[in-house]
Amino acid sequence: MCMMCYNLMKDVSFILASSSPRRKELLERMGLSFSIVSPDVDESLSVGAKEMVETLCRRKALAVVEKYPQSIVLAADTVVVKDGTVFGKPKNDKEAFRMITLLQGDTHQVMTGVCVICPGKAIQVATEATRVKFASMSPETVWRYVQTGEPFGKAGGYEIQGICGMFIEAIEGSYTNVVGLPTALVRSMLHKTGYFN
């Protein structure tokens, strides 16, 4: 049992509204006990990045809390943003190649919206943004990276803790945010519920 486990509200269960293995791993590293319920929501939005991630994380959390109203529910949504363009998850090799080509050799932002819903308390929604600097990559290098399969299922088409980490020259802000969940922000939000001290 993790020495950092802080489940103080014994009668209240904690649910991660996400099927992301990266978010699961990050919460486990925080020493939290939780269940996973993957929400089925419409993620199509044509708005700015901050409004998008905040709307979607809230939408995901509400979808789960509707079924489990006595639980604390945590949901998140992550996008990559460069020059006002929002990058979600690539659907195929061509999209992944285009995304990495546009990101390489420059700086972009990784933005995650986090929503926490706790019975009897106000809904919390917050956003974390991290700046990431990509090294320059030749088209051949980009294509070889795409062929590893790593870009799929990841916002912006890359995984900082994976193969692509060798192309990340610098980050400014939360590293775990780039992985998929800003754990310092999550700790602060859960602290307000009394679930995590």
Query: What is the residue-wise DSSP string for 139-157?
Result: HHHHHHHHTTTTTTTSGGG
Residues 139, 137: Cα–Cα separation, whole Å: 7
* 60 falls within a domain: yes
Going by their DSSP bridges, the two strands 107-117 and 72-82 should be labelled as antiparallel
User: For residue 46, what pLDDT is reported?
Assistant: 79
CATH for 180: 3.90.950.10
pTM: 0.88
* 8 falls within a domain: no
What's the structural domain count of the chain? 1
Q: Residue 6 pLDDT more than 50? A: no
* 5 falls within a domain: no
Residues 38, 63: Cα–Cα separation, whole Å: 9
77 a catalytic residue:
yes
Catalytic residue among 77, 83, 93, 106: 77
Count of C-beta atoms within a 10 Å radius of residue 72: 24
* 140 falls within a domain: yes
Candidate from 2-16, 78-92, 164-178 with smallest mean pLDDT? 2-16
**Helix (H) or strand (E) segment spanning residue 126:** strand 124-134
* 154 falls within a domain: yes
* 65 falls within a domain: yes
CB 15 within 8 A of CB 73: yes
* 134 falls within a domain: yes
Q: Residue 94 pLDDT more than 80? A: yes
For residue 121, what are the domain limits? 14-193
Question: Angle at the Cα of 60 (from 126 to 132), degrees rounded to 5?
Answer: 50
